[in-house]
């Protein structure tokens, strides 16, 4: 097993090897590095208020160009996958890809039953409204008399 006071059998780190590993890591980073300066708003997140700084002035043509590109980006984020792509991108999107949108929007006619009114039901609803208004009016006059 080994005593607790005994030194570990692990050799001390070699500085030359660690430096070579660091140099190789930095070379990989520089080889795969790409300069990206085209920053945009995330179209999938909720848009926050994008107000400019109060003391900053922006030329009109620059702000119109930026505003139009921002609007197109936000509108693209709201589109459904079928509007964005010609073919499904994932296997989950394959389900229902060929179904037309009109079929999906039809309300179920089996469970839909509109409220039917007849002359008698309309008469009774008006009668109950008048009766409730009369009761409310009498309660208000009684409260006013108590004061």
Give 79-137 pLDDT, tens digit per residue.
888 888 889 988 888 887 877 766 667 666 777 788 888 999 999 999 999 999 988 88
State the total domains in the chain: 1
pTM: 0.30
The b-or-e profile of 48-63 (16+ CB within 10 A means b, else e) is eeeeeeeeeeeeeeee
Domain of 58, in residue numbers? 15-145
Q: Which letter does DSSP use for residue 73 in this model?
A: H
Residue 66 lies in a domain: yes
pLDDT for 95 equals: 83
Residue 6 lies in a domain: no
72 neighbors 78 (Cβ within 8 angstroms): no
Residue 2 lies in a domain: no
Residue 38 lies in a domain: yes
Pick from 14-18, 84-88, 137-141: least confident: 137-141
Q: Give the side-chain half-sphere CA count within 13 A for 141.
A: 6
Residue 79 lies in a domain: yes
């Amino acid at each position: 097993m080994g005593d607790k006071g005994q030194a570990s059998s692990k050799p001390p780190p070699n500085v030359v090897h660690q430096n070579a590993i660091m140099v190789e890591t930095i070379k990989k980073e520089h080889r795969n590095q790409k300069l990206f300066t085209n920053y945009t708003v995330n179209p999938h997140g909720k848009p926050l208020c994008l107000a400019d700084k109060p003391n900053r002035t922006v030329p009109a043509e620059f702000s119109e160009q930026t505003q139009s590109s921002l609007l197109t980006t936000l509108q693209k984020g709201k589109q459904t996958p079928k509007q964005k792509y010609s073919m499904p991108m994932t296997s989950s999107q394959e389900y229902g890809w060929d179904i037309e949108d009109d079929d999906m929007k039809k309300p179920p006619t089996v469970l839909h039953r509109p409220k039917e009114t007849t002359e008698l039901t309309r008469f009774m609803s008006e009668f109950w409204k008048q009766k409730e208004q009369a009761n409310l009016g009498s309660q208000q006059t009684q409260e006013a008399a108590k004061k």
